Amino acid sequence: MKGTFVDFDALFGHLGQHTVDGLSKGSIYALVALGYTLVYGVLRLINFAHSEVFMIGTFTVVGTWSVLGATDSPAIGTVILLLLAGLVAAAAASGATAVAVERIAYRRLRRMNAPPLIFLITAIGLSLVLSEAFGLWQGRLVKGMPTIVERSVLFTIGNTEVTNIQAITVVAALIMMFGLDTFINRTRYGRGVRAVAQNPDTAALMGVNKDRVIALIFLLGGLLAGAAALLYCLRYGNTRFNVGFVLGLKAFTAAVLGGIGNLRGALLGGLLLGIVEVYAATLTSSNWEDVAAFVVLVVVLLFRPTGLLGESLGRARA
Amino acid sequence: MLLEIDNLTLRYGRIEALHGISITVAEGEIVALIGANGAGKTTTMRAVSGLRPVATGSIKFAGEDITNLRADLRVIRGICQSPEGRGIFPGMTVLENLDMGAYTRRDTSAIASDLDRVFGLFPRLAERRKQAGGTLSGGEQQMLAVGRALMARPKLLLLDEPSMGLAPMVIQQIFEIITEINQQGTTILLVEQNAQQALSRAHRAYVLETGKIVQEGTGQDLLTDSRVRDAYLGVA
Amino acid sequence: MTETLREINDRRQRLTAGIGERVRALPRWQKVLGLLAFVGFLYYLPYLGIPGLTWFRTDYIPQGNNWAGVLFSCAIYVLIAIGLNIVVGLAGLLDLGYVGFYAIGAYSVALFGSTQSPVVEALQNRFGLSEQWAVSWAICIPLAITFTMISGVILGWPTLRLRGDYLAIVTLGFGEIIRIVARNSSWTGGPQGIAAIPGPEGAPSADNTIFGLIDPKPWYWLALTVVIVMVFAVRRLEHSRVGRAWLAIREDEDAAAVMGVPGFKFKLWAFAMGAALGGLSGFLFASRNAFIEPTQFNVYLSILFVAAVVAGGAGNIPGVAIGAFLLAYLPERFRDFSEYRTLAFGLALVLVMLLRPQGLIPSRRRARELADRRKEAPANV
Amino acid sequence: MRRKYVRALGGVALAAAMVAAVGCQDSGGDDNASGDGTCGGKIAIFGAFTGPNAGLVIPSLNGAKLAVKQHNAENADCQVTLQEFDTQGAPEQATPIANQVAQDQSFTSVIGGHFSGETKATMPTYEAAGLVMVSPSATATELTAAGNKSFHRVVGNDGTQGAAAAVYFKDTLKSQKVFVIDDGSTYGAGIAAELTKGLGSQVVASDKVQTDQTNFDATISKIKAAQADAIAYGGYTNEAAPLLKQLRAAGVTAKFLGFDGLYDPAFPQGAGAGAEGAIVTCPCLPAAEAGGTFSADFEKEYGEAPGSYGAEGYDAAKVLLDGYKDGKSTRKELLDWVDAYDKEGVSKYIKFADTGDVDPSKVVIWAYEIKGGQITPQSEIKLS
Amino acid sequence: MSDPEDLVSLAVSEQPRRDDLLVVDHVTLRFGGVVALDDVSFEVRRGEILGLIGPNGAGKTTCFNAMTGVYRPTSGEVRFDGERVSGRKPHQINRMGIARTFQNIRLFPEMTALENVMVGTDSQHFTSVPGALFRLYRKRAKPEELPVVDSDNGLVRAWQQTRLAFAKVFGISRHTLEERAGEQKGMALLRFVGIADRANDLARNLPYGYQRRLEIARALATEPKLLCLDEPAAGFNPAEKEQLLKLIRDIRDKGYTVLLIEHDMRLVMGVTDRIVVLEFGKKIAEGPPAEVRENPKVIAAYLGVPADAS
């Protein structure tokens, strides 16, 4: 093992393949990262419980599919039905969880004008409660689910294969990302969100209901996490009560990498992190990928202390 | 009375910032609050617009008690403030900033005509409608803040230091616009450092000192009052 | 539900209000005596047999754990909390990777003190030493402290310029890196960990009379003594130019800099001191357990440490101590809850934060601040 | 002034109470069992009874409970109590439990530990206390290599299983290119190393995954690049199930072989269709092969088939229970009893070598195949 | 330093002194497209009170920040005692001898008044972690520094005597001496600004006026050559302003040079030796109060064009 600690051939021999793998992995990070970034952009708060919002989404997908009696590789009509049902159910469950978390805990703390650390610890507590509740309810072992979409190679460029699931993941993530970007930048509600992020007091003076905006961003984050949960289920076919912890950590890292509070930064950070991890795992072995992820984070922050694209919903453009 | 502030007390932590002030504003008036930095003028404004919780006392708007009403609901009732320091949304364009002013309104066509009106009042803003608010100069930002508040079509317009950081020419302009807005039917509560201008434009005025009202009267009376001249008009 | 709880909480506050004031009003000699009695009580704790109080022993229940052994864990956690409190409570830096220092401390004694460690074996081969040779326990103490302080500086040097939330994620990454390196490198013993870590009497063996394998009481007393010495040391720091600088940085870093406080230097010191304490606790932990493996140092533990510090009352030594004590003690005492322990812990954390955000035993400063902030809360949020 | 005196008096009284209490309290009841000539005693069993890996350990606990229950029903005059201690599999939690058991003289024997880490951490303590340990499932080779006198196990060690798996790859699967993966845990890395030793040059490449990993793209592309025809996995279900599922989804058809860490109904459930045909080796007997009526009894008692190590848990308890039945009631007597044990158990013939390992010649390793989502016995792997 | 008990006076060095303490030399500062300061030049002379005035938003605070090293000028430079200011870290600038207060009070709210001031005195001290931890760097104690033995209680007295003997043999640590000096000086400063009665209250609990004074005391504690006050009278009523004027004069009389930033011209008139007037980032006037007061540009800038003038 010692002689071959770093295996350049493995990396550069299939660089394209690893990049595609990394992008599809990173897309899910990006979608979850958006939840962190939205909340942080407006409230300057790390919503540690967001990882569990995602986890609940995955369990909802499993539950919905099992209720609908899904089996491995069903007919195409059923696939679409299952995907839609899974998406709706997961988004609803995740969105509801996110909003509930805000209502039950954060709003109270905001009323108290509590310092950020208090929010963080509360979020950690909530995260523990949610994941443990699912651990007790659903068991602590990995939970399988039917393979709804059979993997197939869509097209091949050189020695790089792009599969249908990878394509779905990346495209869905991009669509949602740009949908969100449009929503935030082009609609009236989106303007309200940006206003609260940029200057909460003035936003209130313009008639923006801050509570509603905050509930909205939690909802948006939850919906995206639900969508991410569906993609995750499609791609990995498994979930587990603590699936959110590691993924949430990565997604948060991605958000910081891109510049937390910045929507496009979350996308960039997520994709970049996915690629870095796959490269690092190929170069050495899979158990070093986290080290690589964090080293890249530190290096980026050293040179750009507020992440690649800088902070904040719209503030960076000023 | 459009606005009645009765015996208002307000605290920052354990420090009392306002000690029982009472102010009234009648429909169609320009009322000015003058006083030194830190006298409590801005705090009063923030209490009226709902940004600061009130300790005791009450605020009534058009007969309705709004003491504990949320800030955004006050906007719907018709109170809009151009805050101190302008409170521009730096990442939004001029147009978006103005649109924020009309956030609570749904009457699209009326909004469009109001937009024209604001651009009419401030041609500079029309020139820069696609520029980010944060990149405007101080004077332009001030125009934007006033214009944005107008976009809410408020019954009561709160202006906090509209002349701050502006060149004398622009100050002159701003005050002319204030008068014009008022003549078009908007009631104005004005906080101003520039006592000379404020008093000469205002129908009535209150003088604040360390959280208390020490004097009130018509603008012209106060303008000629020796104590006010001495304390706030600089040159004796 | 929370409303009822809030009411109960208010009633409790009315009842307990003034106890602190009354204690503070006591003459100095009485306070000193009280303190001595309390310390005596702590040393007596492993024997706890006062009727009524035996309920608190963790071996009170049939599947219960060794009381002195649990007390030792509690003491270790308290030591960690005191160290973390320097970083989080005093200097106001959010460190989510504190477990990294704990691990470095533990690995320092494991790698240099155990005859089974790859490092010691390499040294033996390199210098032709006997197979029984290893660095003695006493020398491992300064080694552990030095290594952790150095790693604290290495972590702090590039990262302390970052703002709070960025610092949190970077430190968290640091903690993970330490664990992953320990797990994946052959020179750390890899996932198998390292056994035969020495104690004050040398390598673990049935012949050790005091710090033996069976009776953990001496270990508890050792850890308690270290805790007391460290409390004393940290209080010295707190009540000095250094402590004032930390507080000033926490309160308003820019203003502190303008007043001549070299912020970076003192933040680095806070990191180094916090790291040293974390390392010391890891050191004690490793020598008592005589065996460590990388999974014991996962990032979750870091987060729990921070939670314990904040829930206990950041900035206040008794507060963070009680927080850490409860973190180690409650799961052991309530083993009958088995599967529900973590859930209950999470719930407790949320409730404490919602009802008592200043922590269980806050510093007087912090309690005031939060009370004021609550009053100042803007009206519209 | 008076209040001061009251306070002082109170203090003195409290101190006196504390001192008095020191005498009469030391980790409770050391006078109710042992050495009083009556038959029976207390057995401590420790392991991860809660936490993510509890699924692997609970069958063993249930097996032991079953054995004790049967014993107590048959021997009214020789009652044995089994006391559970949950370690969550963590060494630092197992250590004070070892202290507790060691100091409480009423415990005369120990079943455990279930994982290698906790066993390694506590072995010296139990040895110092003269307590015999019989482990149903701690398989790391190093446990029996250090000359510990109290440790015994009724299960083959990783060395044996690794060697058996190597034989299986060579003889049954006839694999030429084996890709070895482990999860970096004590168990997974250990057994993977043993297998690699056994396979030699047939191992074409390897990778290490990490706990709670969910995405295995990098590993999969390495497997593809190595063009492996078989894959060996050292680790647990949590990572193996998603890995296998993704492997199959990615079109890798190489044979998959895991070790006893995957001998767990959750594994085929988690891996879904991808698990079909996967091999799990285990030094544990198939239920049908288990001696006597064990399987039936177990199923009757718990409503499910004995999972991983159910039979071993039963055997571990049985070894000790036979000793109690024979009138052994001190730690020393029980240790000697176990050292000399020589009898057919339900999982295998049990006789311990000097190291504490079950006599290598008596170890049976079985290969199981996943068929229709069930772990079904395929064949015993003959070591030579 | 005529009075040895006077801890507040600045120890004026005996070296030959140049007249100009701080020189603002053709400083221009741009943010993006906005010119915040436009070729501003003036100097602060030793021992004077210089007023920097201008209407709100005229660039006073920007100028101030450039002078205290917060902003680096786009062109031109600021020199203090002959050395460039910009490019240094804030604590280094403090070491050079510039101390300031903040327009919106920035105390350390959770520290007591005395502790706040002691953070200032700490800038003159050297104890760091090892010193505080181990109480190293012992010095032979002067008689007046030795611990006192004054208790009637036998036990306490014995303890005090032990400490005395220890101090005589081993000396006293730098930490202890510094703590003591800081506390004495801190209390002296609190007395000087008139808030010693609340020395042990948390800063956030002090009344507004006390907080302002505390900020001044804290700045003085760093023994600055130049004390910069940023709108110290904001929020004061005329009576309080009067007291503040007196305090500023007292400070000058203790040997400090003061830069006073205000927009209230009346306040500045009464206390300053010279005045610099800014408007729109440009210097429009400079000179003694009487002169500046009559300057038509200043009058225009300050009062705006009267509404009835047009």
Please say if the pLDDT value at position D51 is more than 90: no
**pLDDT band of C375, cuts 50, 70, 90:** low
pLDDT tens track for A89-100: 999 999 999 999
197-216 in C: which are within 8 Å (CB) of D? Answer: 204-206, 212-216
The mean pLDDT of chain E is: 84
Residue C355 touches partner A, C-beta closer than 8 Å: no
In a domain, D88, yes or no: yes
Residue A195 pLDDT > 60: yes
- A53-57: average pLDDT: 96
Q: What is the pLDDT of residue B235?
A: 45
| Residue E11: pLDDT band with limits 50, 70, 90 | low
| Per-residue pLDDT at C13 exceeds 70 | no
- Ramachandran region, residue A69 (left: φ > 0; alpha: ψ -120 to 50; beta: rest): left
What value does the mean pLDDT of chain A take? 88
Please report which helix (H) or strand (E) contains residue B9, including its range. strand B3-12
Please list the residues that pair with D166 across neighbouring strands.
none
- The predicted structure's pLDDT at residue E306: 47
Output the pLDDT for position D33: 43
The pLDDT of residue E302 is 67
pLDDT value at residue C30: 84
Range of the domain at A133: 8-303
Please indicate whether, in this complex, the C-beta atoms of D22 and C47 are within 8 angstroms of each other: yes
CATH number at residue E287: 3.40.50.300
When pLDDT is averaged across residues D7-15 and rounded to a whole number, the result is 58
Looking at the domain assignment, is residue A316 inside a domain? no
DSSP structure class, residue E141 = P
pLDDT of residue D5: 55
Asked if the Cβ–Cβ distance from C244 to E118 is below 8 Å, we say: yes
Identify the chains in contact with B, defined as 3+ C-beta pairs within 8 A.
A, C, E
User: Which of B15, B169, B226, B228 would you mutate first to test chain E, the one with the most E CBs within 10 A?
Assistant: B15
Burial of A113 (0-12, 13-18, 19+ CB in 10 A): middle
**One domain, residues D60 and D80:** yes
Q: Which residues contact D167 (CB under 8 A, 6 or more apart)?
A: D198, D381, D382, D383
Starting from the edge strand earliest in sequence, which strands make up the sheet with D374-381, in order? D203-208, D178-182, D230-234, D255-258, D279-282, D365-371, D374-381
Q: Kindly indicate the confidence band of residue E156, based on its pLDDT and cuts at 50, 70 and 90.
A: confident
Whether the pLDDT of residue C365 is over 90: the answer is: no
pLDDT > 90 in chain B, percent:
29
Residues D66 and D165 reside in one and the same domain:
no
CATH number at residue D338: 3.40.50.2300
Nearest chain E residue to C235, by CA = E133
Residues 40-99 of E with CB under 8 A from B: 55-58
The residue ranges of every structural domain in chain B are: 1-78+154-165+173-236, 87-153
Section C355-380 average pLDDT: 68
DSSP letter (8 states) at residue E224: -
Cis peptide bond prior to E186, omega within 30° of 0: no
Q: How is residue C36 written in tokens?
A: 């001595």
Helix (H, G, I), strand (E, B) or coil at D250: coil
In a domain, A247, yes or no: yes
> Do D191 and D268 have their domain in common?
yes
User: Which residues fall within 8 angstroms of residue A12, CB to CB, at 6 or more apart?
Assistant: none
DSSP B50-102: TSS--SEEEEEETTEE-TT--HHHHHHHTEEEE-TT----TTSBHHHHHHHHT
- The highest-level CATH class for domain B1-78+154-165+173-236 is alpha beta
Say how far apart CA D123 and CA D140 lie, in whole Å: 13
* Cβ of residue B81 closer than 8 Å to a chain A Cβ: yes
Residue E135 clears pLDDT 90, i.e. is over it: no
Please give the C-alpha separations between residue C168 and each of C148, C163, D86, in angstroms, as whole numbers.
19, 9, 33
Phi-psi label, residue D55: left if phi above 0, alpha if psi -120 to 50, beta otherwise: alpha
Average pLDDT over residues B87-105: 90
Q: Identify the top-confidence range among B45-54, C47-56, E112-121.
A: E112-121
The closest CB to that of C244, out of E95, E102, E115, belongs to E115
Tens digits of per-residue pLDDT, A225-263?
A: 999 999 999 888 888 888 898 899 899 999 999 988 888
Examine residue D169 and state whether it is found in any structural domain, yes or no.
yes
Nearest CB partner across the interface for A205, out of B83, B92, B134: B83
Distance (Å) from the C-alpha of residue C353 to the closest C-alpha of chain E? 20
| pLDDT for res A53 | 96
**Confidence (pLDDT) at A2:** 38
Mean pLDDT, residues A307-318: 59
Please tell me the distance in Å from C119's CA to the nearest CA on chain A: 17
A187/E153: higher pLDDT? A187
> What is the C-alpha to C-alpha distance for residues C310 and E159, in angstroms, rounded to an integer?
38
Length of chain D equals: 384
pLDDT of C206 reads 79
Q: What is the mean pLDDT of chain B?
A: 85
Question: What pLDDT is attached to residue E308?
Answer: 42
State how far Cα A159 lies from the chain centre.
Answer: 29
Q: Check A294 against C173: CB less than 8 A apart.
A: yes
Query: Nearest-CA distance from A229 to chain C in Å?
Result: 23
Is residue D356 over pLDDT 80? yes
Whether pLDDT at A286 is above 90: no
CATH of the domain at A97: 1.10.3470
Burial class (CB in 10 A: 0-12, 13-18, 19+), B58: middle
Q: B91 and A195: CB-CB below 8 Å?
A: no
Find the closest chain D residue to C204 by CA distance: D124
Cβ contacts of C348 on chain A, cutoff 8 Å:
125
Q: What is the pLDDT of residue E310?
A: 36
User: Hunting for tokens 């009376």 — which residue is that?
Assistant: B221
Residue C27 or residue E229, greater confidence: E229
Please check the confidence at residue E37 and state whether its pLDDT lies above 60.
Answer: yes
What pLDDT score does C279 carry?
Answer: 96
Distances (CA, A) of D302 to D61, D269, D305: 12, 20, 8
Alpha-carbon gap, residue D347 to D287, rounded angstroms: 9
Q: Strands across the sheet with B15-25, in order?
A: B15-25, B3-12, B56-61, B64-65
CB spacing of A318 vs B135 below 8 angstroms: yes
Confidence at residue C113, expressed as pLDDT on a 0 to 100 scale: 92
* Cβ pair C241:E102 closer than 8 A: no
**Predicted confidence band of residue C230 (pLDDT cuts 50, 70, 90):** very high
**Residue D93: closest CA among D72, D73, D114:** D114
pLDDT in tens, D28-40: 444 444 444 568 8
**Which pTM value belongs to this model?**
0.89
What's the mean pLDDT in B54-75?
A: 90
Contact B158/C at CB under 8 A: no
pLDDT at C304: 87
- Average pLDDT, integer, range C104-124: 93
Q: What's the confidence (pLDDT) of residue C17?
A: 60
CA–CA gap between residue E206 and residue B141 (Å, rounded): 36
Please, where are the H alpha helices in C196-262?
A: 217-238, 241-251, 253-258
pLDDT-derived band at C3 (thresholds 50, 70, 90) equals low
- Residues E131-149, mean pLDDT to the nearest whole number: 82
Reply yes or no on whether the pLDDT at C46 is more than 80: yes
pLDDT over threshold 70, residue C5: no
E56 has a pLDDT exceeding 80: no
* Contact status of B13 with chain C (Cβ, < 8 Å): yes
Which of 182-201 (D) contact C at CB < 8 A?
Answer: 184-186, 188-190
Please give the Cα distance from D237 to C154 (Å, whole number). Answer: 38
* Dist. CA D202–CA D55, nearest whole Å: 33
Pairwise CB contact (< 8 Å): C170 & A122: no
- The pLDDT value recorded for residue C203 is 84
Q: What is the pLDDT of residue A318?
A: 29
Mean pLDDT value of segment A106-126: 87
| Element (DSSP H or E) covering residue E260 | strand E257-262
Nearest CA of chain A to the CA of B105: how many Å?
Answer: 9
Structural domain count of chain C: 1
Q: Which domain range does residue D169 map to?
A: 159-282+366-381
Per-residue model confidence (pLDDT) at position C218: 93
Q: Do chains A and C touch (3 or more CB pairs under 8 A)?
A: yes
Nearest CA in chain C to A259: C166
Identify the weakest region by mean pLDDT among B31-35, C319-323, E238-242, E256-260: E238-242
Bigger pLDDT: C22 or C109?
C109
State which residues form the domain around C126: 76-207+227-376
Using CB atoms, pick whichever of C372, C377, C380 lies closest to residue B50.
C380
Whether residue A318 lies inside any domain: the answer is no
Cα C84 to Cα C101: distance, rounded to the nearest angstrom: 10
Whole-angstrom Cα distance, residue D305 to residue D348? 18
Is residue A148 pLDDT above 90, yes or no?
Answer: no
Q: Answer whether C379 sits within 8 Å of B14, measured CB to CB.
A: no
- Is E120 part of any domain? no
C380–chain B Cβ distance below 8 A for any pair: yes
A317 pLDDT band, cuts 50/70/90, is: very low
Summarize the confidence of residues B202-220 as an average pLDDT.
Answer: 89
Distance CA E180, CA E112 (A): 16
List the chains bordering chain C where 3 or more Cβ pairs fall under 8 Å. A, B, D, E
Q: Classify residue D32: in a domain, yes or no.
A: no
A286 and chain D: CB distance < 8 Å anywhere? yes
Q: How far apart are CA D272 and CA D327, in angstroms?
A: 50
CB-CB: which of D103, D210, D211 is closest to C214?
D103
Instruction: Give me the pLDDT at residue D2, please.
Output: 52
Total domain count for chain D?
Answer: 2
Domains contained in chain A, number: 1
What residues pair up with B227 in beta bridges, in sequence order? none
Cross-chain residue pair B71–C380, CB shorter than 8 Å: yes
Kindly indicate the confidence band of residue E90, based on its pLDDT and cuts at 50, 70 and 90: confident
Between CA D96 and CA C220 the distance in angstroms is: 11
Query: β-strands D107-111, D41-47: how paired?
Result: parallel
Check if the beta carbon of residue D279 is closer than 8 Å to that of residue D287: no
Q: Which of C320-329, D210-219, D287-296 has the highest mean pLDDT?
A: C320-329
Query: C378, B72: Cβ pair inside 8 Å?
Result: no
Residue E111, domain member (yes or no):
no
Residue A139 lies in a domain: yes
SS (H, E, C) C38-54: HHHHHHHHHHCCCCCCH
